[in-house]
Chain A
Amino acid sequence: AAGVIQSPRHLIKEKRETATLKCYPIPRHDTVYWYQQGPGQDPQFLISFYEKMQSDKGSIPDRFSAQQFSDYHSELNMSSLELGDSALYFCASSLELPNEQFFGPGTRLTVL
């Protein structure tokens, strides 16, 4: 069965650079979520989209933005990167009902 695809899997950036993370949800899933997991922490919700519209917003910094495109893939844009942005970024997708979220493998971002 098709799973959630995230690219790239690993990314190394310098401070103050920008990064773009991509997520391709499971076909026919209408909702995409972005989570950030710091070292030794639980995943924290950043932002979500339902049918290409922003659905919910969590603890996403103003330096970050995201969107969902017509083909339902989503991109998380991160600017002015800081050392504290180093984390594992997960994308998850689901149908509205049942709300069972399937996670991608994550993108590991390292900011030097």
Chain B
Amino acid sequence: AQTVTQSQPEMSVQEAETVTLSCTYDTSENNYYLFWYKQPPSRQMILVIRQEAYKQQNATENRFSVNFQKAAKSFSLKISDSQLGDTAMYFCAFIPNSGNTPLVFGKGTRLSVIA
């Protein structure tokens, strides 16, 4: 079975600093998608960034970027210039196949941005 592991239950970062959230996964699939979702106190699930496994280039969305290491099965999220609004639970998620398959989530990392 596919699994996603987030080894940091909680993290904190000073406003304007950079923080990296870790994620590893286990799969025998060669084609898959990886995602980071943000869940603020409102509990809405917000897609932050996605990565296709066949793409070697790391995805970037404004202040959010990933370090995708396919051989190591690692998919970390870097948040630059942290803002108070980044305070949330962050879930790493994985889709084992392409098309119509459910997400497999990690347990999440609770990030607090401190003023």
Contact = CB atoms under 8 A, between A and B. Distances in A.
Given A50-B100, A99-B101, A42 B106 contact: yes
B102 A42 contact: no
A61 interface: no
Contacts of B102: 33, 35, 45, 48, 56, 58
Nearest to A55: B100
Size bracket, chain A contacts? 20 to 34
Interface string B31-57: 001010100000111110010100000
A26 to B, nearest CB: 13
Interface residues of B, number: 23
A92 B105 CA distance: 14
Nearest to A102: B47
B99 A99 contact: yes
Interface string B72-101: 000000000000000000010001001111
Given A42-B106, A42-B107, A96 B100 contact: yes
A90 interface: yes
Contacts of B99: 96-97, 99
A72 interface: no
Contact of A97 (B43, B47, B98, B106): B98
Contacts of A103: 37, 44-47
Interface of A: 31, 33, 35, 37, 41-45, 48, 50, 55-56, 58, 88, 90, 92, 94, 96-103, 105-106, 108
Interface of B: 33, 35, 37, 43-47, 50, 52, 91, 95, 98-108
Given A33-B103, A94-B100, A99-B98, 14 more contacts: A37-B43, A42-B105, A42-B106, A42-B108, A58-B102, A92-B45, A96-B100, A100-B33, A100-B47, A100-B50, A102-B47, A103-B46, A105-B44, A106-B43
